[in-house]
Amino acid sequence: MRPNFRLILISALVALVLPNLYGLGCDGPILPVGPSITAPAQNSTIPASGLFTASVSFPVPLTAISLVEMELQTDQGATRIDVTALFLPSGQSDFAGAVSASAILDAVALGLAPGSQTFIVRVDADGVGGASAGAVPFTWLADTTCEGTAGSALSQCFLDASNATSLCYSSTGSACSPTDAALVAAEDQLRSSVAIACTDRLVQSLGYGAAVTEVGLADRLIEECVGNAATLAARIFGGPHAKVRGAGVGVSCMDAAYNESAAFLDLAFNLQRDCVLDPACNAATVAADIDGAAAASAAVIDGPCGVGGGS
């Protein structure tokens, strides 16, 4: 074979065979490039409500055999949620004919944990291999207004309920009635504060669960508020009927112990609450502050109590 024929033959083989090997022939499949995620934007922050739009453009028009997967990852990938079905064209079980897809996603309903998230899209246009992927990191910073207000409202309710409880024991020798005006006022103020700052969605975004409402959160906080005040009094005064206090010995000691203990519990709660809301909080520093407050409260109680208690 003369050299010029050999070159012609090699050229023909290159033209006919290589395009088929690499999918570049006129009739061969076009290799997909990565899908283009158009929303959310890279490193964006989605609304505190948790509602956001996710959109993707496909590299080629898809067919019924195209394989598509949309996934959300949170907690550094510990939680993976398949959301593909939410992007399917209406009435279809596949993405045939689609060149793009979008969906309105609900971070609260999906159970995402607030913080860093990743939206991942995988596409295999011909359904036989070679899937390409795209990923976009974004952040969901849940609104802390409700959380902060609820904590403050619980703190104030506990102080008010503690003061009311102290007055009930000193004036009647027993626990307050559930209808005591001061207790009811403390409960009403807590409900009002929570109702102003919290919605059902915000409450659920805090991790209480999809069934808990703003009213349900207020109910739980009131149980803690009134219940802790009553428990503290029962432990110091000798039960709901104040049998120890009723004996008439060490009354000033017990009253001081109750009032100072309530103040200490509220201080410790607020130190811990502030730490939870502050990403830069040093837990060891908070623990040391609480230990210091406990020692200071013990010194305050020692005054009226002394050795053997006051009268």
Single residue among 140, 174, 199 that ends a domain in this structure: 140
In what order do the strands lie in the sheet containing 115-124? 44-46, 132-140, 115-124, 67-74, 79-82
Residues 123 and 161 occupy one common structural domain: no
Percentage, residues of the chain above pLDDT 90: 55
pTM: 0.62
C-alpha distances (whole Å) from 120 to each of 49, 56, 95, 140 are 21, 10, 17, 16
Residues 149 and 281 occupy one common structural domain: yes
Per-residue pLDDT at 105? 96
- Counting the structural domains of the chain, the total is 2
Confidence of residue 16 (pLDDT cuts 50, 70, 90): very low
The contacts of residue 76 (CB under 8 Å, 6+ apart) are 116
Task: Give the tokens for residue 278.
Answer: 């502050």
Single residue among 112, 140, 168 that ends a domain in this structure: 140
Tokens 């992927």, residue? 133
Burial class (CB in 10 A: 0-12, 13-18, 19+), 161: buried
pLDDT of residue 292 exceeding 60, the answer is yes
Residues 191 and 291 occupy one common structural domain: yes
Task: Give the tokens for residue 241.
Answer: 């009927």
Task: Encode pLDDT of 173-210 as tens digits.
Answer: 888 999 999 999 999 999 999 999 998 888 887 777 77
Per-residue pLDDT at 10? 35
Residues 112 and 197 occupy one common structural domain: no
Single residue among 107, 140, 173 that ends a domain in this structure: 140
Task: Encode pLDDT of 69-85 as tens digits.
Answer: 999 998 777 789 999 99
Report which secondary-structure segment, H or E, holds 37.
strand 36-39
CB 30: neighbour CB atoms within 10 A? Answer: 12
73 beta partners: 80, 118
User: Residue 19: left if φ>0, alpha if ψ -120 to 50, beta else—which one?
Assistant: alpha
Q: For 33-39, what is the mean pLDDT?
A: 87
Residue 126 sits in a domain whose CATH number is 2.60.40.10
- Residue range of the domain that includes 293: 145-305
Residues 83 and 221 occupy one common structural domain: no
Task: Give the tokens for residue 229.
Answer: 């005040």
Residues 149 and 122 occupy one common structural domain: no
pLDDT of residue 24 exceeding 50, the answer is no
